[in-house]
Amino acid sequence: MTIEKIKSQKGLWVFIAPISGLILTDDIKNEIRIDKITFITAKKLSRVWKRLGLPVSTAALIKKSPYVYGNFFSSNDVFAVSTLGGIGLDREQDFLKLVRYEINILSLSHLGYGRRSGNYGISLSEENPRASRNFLMMNFKNTDAVLNDNLVGKYLPISLDKRWKMNAKKRFFDELIKVLRYDKNISDGWRKDILNAALLAGQSQSSVSLPQAFLWNMIAIETLLTRQGDSYSKILPKRVEAFIGWSSDWSIVGYEKKIRDIYDKRCAFVHAGRTDDLVIDNLLFSDQILVNVLFNILTHLSMFKDKESIIKFSEKVEAEHLLGIKSKIRPKTLHHIKIGLNSKDYESNYMY
């Protein structure tokens, strides 16, 4: 039977795809399920194949065709697994779309935890963003030449270990998964906004393009904090201030001025295609804003059940400022998270 005929059959399909840039450790029992997709090590998959819906074991597949399946399972450490019903040809694209969707959600767990300068992000194996850059340098005067050949982009896989697990629980990632799985009582529109922002922020973490990563972050922030008709340049600093303006860093770092600056650069990019003034610091600062906004929203969903709740919260905080009174609106459980950065994070060689 041809490949096309096999794919055209209707039934319950098990999909397994190799994943790069991800290490699953014993600390998380060598697997993690985001929603519809389970990410699992090859070794564990060989043991729990029945639980994940495979009709035969991976060992049986390897025995049936050692060259094809043996190479597939031995050459990859981590797989994405899911079962979908219907015509195989149709479900194939649905599976790949689901994998990319949940990779972006998982990548967001890296925000405020790992370093952009190192982790190259999770991807389907063929979409690994590492690349080789070759170019020749020749001195015009004496013809001395150098042929450069080096890897560019990010180089370390994301390891889901004990430290990652503690961070996911301590920060916002566990709460985000509850939103994704409908375990939080919020409106459908607000859930969609949160997940859309999470997808963009996750793509930003994996991106090796500075303008693209920056734009994804900015749109994610706007998705969470603004509504149609807002004057973004005026509103964004106020909405962010409502969450972290109580911190001494707000004035020391000059958050308000820096927020206006990155918004101006966002507009210059979107409306005029200008990226000449965009620097790594702008991206890292947008990370700082995003991790605080996500954390404080997702850990206070009983208070912020929809975007309107955030807008009213921000307006009440602003009113307290105008009256010159100590805030009674802000819950004491709000946090200001400072992302630890070093000189390497400000170098530009890991972004294009």
Tens digits of per-residue pLDDT, 20-42?
889 999 999 999 999 999 999 99
In order, the DSSP letters of 9-72 are -EEEEEEEEEEESEEE-GGGTTEEE-SS-EEEEHHHHTTSTTTTT-SS-HHHHHHH-IIIIIHH
The pLDDT of residue 348 is: 64
Domain spans, the chain? 8-110, 127-152, 171-346
Give me the chain's average pLDDT, please. 88
Residues 281 and 112: their CA atoms lie apart, in Å, by 15
Residues 315 and 227: their CA atoms lie apart, in Å, by 14
The pLDDT of residue 8 is: 83
Share of the chain above pLDDT 90, in %: 61
Provide the pairing of β-strand 123-124 with 10-20. antiparallel
Tens digits of per-residue pLDDT, 244-285?
999 999 999 999 999 999 999 999 999 999 999 999 999 999
Provide the pairing of β-strand 158-160 with 22-24. parallel
**Residue type present at position 245:** G
